[in-house]
Chains A and B, each alone.
Chain A
Amino acid sequence: MRALQFFVECVLIATIVGMGVSIGVALIERVTRRWTDRFAPSRRSDLFFVAALLPAMCAIAVTTAAAGPSLLALFDLHHDHCGTHLHHAHLCLLHDFDIPALRIGLGVAALTVLALQAIRFGVALFAQQRTLSALEALGRESGDGRFSIVRLPGEPRLCHAVGVHRRRVLLSDSLAHAISECELKAALAHEEAHHDRWDGLAALLLRTSAILSAPYVMRSVIAAHRVAIEEAADSRAARIVGSPRLVAEAILAVARVQVLRPDLLQHGITSGDIERRVTRLLDGADDRPSVGLFGVASVCLFASMFILLGAHPIHHAVESLLHLI
């Protein structure tokens, strides 16, 4: 019973921190949008990647710092400090305390929200993988380039980079036949650029970490990240095919054949900042190298370790805040 209460309290802490940080990040993103728009796409995508990961990182780091001493004491790796804490709320796995019903109620509510978000994400991911598998079973794979291309039958015109472990490009025959060879080459270069940059992995990490954020709050940050990665992939594709104008023409050609398919429009597809991407390419704005996904991940890891090094003040701060509930 005590373990369950401890778990519920930890979930409550993670949820409060995650949701609080996510609301703060979303507000800051909105206020600083004009400023961040001036960044080169790769740097902007790194920035939004960290910003979108921040709520989950803070939630995990703070909860670990808060729960750490009690968990360590359980294995005799830390002294039992309960005696010095009895004057206020104490996050403890070792001793029985009377926990206010309000705190338990809030913890259960937080657990419910997290579980619902995790289930929603899991179901969407499973459904998408199932659809992809069924669709790819109808196609044929060719391995001419660095990443295999799966040519698909059917009218909806797909040109999608998919996969994290087995990275590939889905390409509809109907799309390949509707645009010129040069435009197709530019479109495929763009999708390969996504794979080179590990954008699929980044997007999956962001969606997973959004489970610990306030529902719907991080959508603007994730959308900003998506625009940044599209622009970064455009720039890389322009370098590969040697012409930004060709990439701009390919974007317009693919957009045009999609617009002519009214049944697709019923799905509420977003405009995807086509105007911004095309004008940026025509203006010749170049991208600048950035630290990339693994560089950003390293920075995040060090930041988490830094937070955990200051575990004692965080542990006490969390308990003081719990005392208010």
Chain B
Amino acid sequence: MTTKDTMLEVKDLHASVGGNKILRGVNLSVPKGEVHAIMGPNGSGKSTLAHVLAGRPGYEVTKGEVLYKGKDLLAMNPEERAREGVFLAFQYPVEISGVSNVYFLKAAANAIRKHRGQPELDAIDFLQLVKEKAKVVDIDESLIKRPVNEGFSGGEKKRNEIFQMAVLDPALAILDETDSGLDIDALRIVAAGVNQLRSPDRSMVLVTHYQRLLDYIVPDVVHVLLDGRIVKSGGKDLALELEKKGYEWLEAPAGSR
């Protein structure tokens, strides 16, 4: 596979958090336009992988490399990654009192536009964009004007993440446990929003513990992450198999450790 078609190429990635080795040689290749699900039990390293890809300080890469559109992703700081088109939807979106959701997003959108050589949006153009993108996840405009995630319900926080993704228009979206804490109605809305954002130019990595999300967002490929390594990859049916059989049957496949 040439890097031209590949959005994300993770090679033998090892990472530690607080001195604990979490990722122990992840290999992953996500072609442009595809949606890949990464499943695994708690503690398998799913969220760590998501945060390492977004560049979270304190998540130390000890070995391996990550190419994003053929560029060395690990050499970039978090804001550079975002400006290059990487987006992380947080499992636990951070509440930031005193910072307006909409203005923070305008600052972010313009930082990205500037990086791309596009003209910055003024307040009127930006509000137009916000109105349009708010429809993607049916988010209330009053929420958009409130302080970032402050006092939002779990469902509102997740919607806000997908709303931000819609506004920032990333090439690679990493969704960390986007289904956690959502009731079925909220899950449908969030999933419908994500599906609207699927495009031949955008790749997505869905990190999830449960198969449930994948009923609504059907992945092209499913990977199983166990003990810091991807131990099995397959089509969307693999998720169903995992739902039935759990992860135990994969735990010590001969020769993979």
Q: Judge: A and B partners, yes or no.
A: no
Interface residues of B (CB under 8 A from A): none
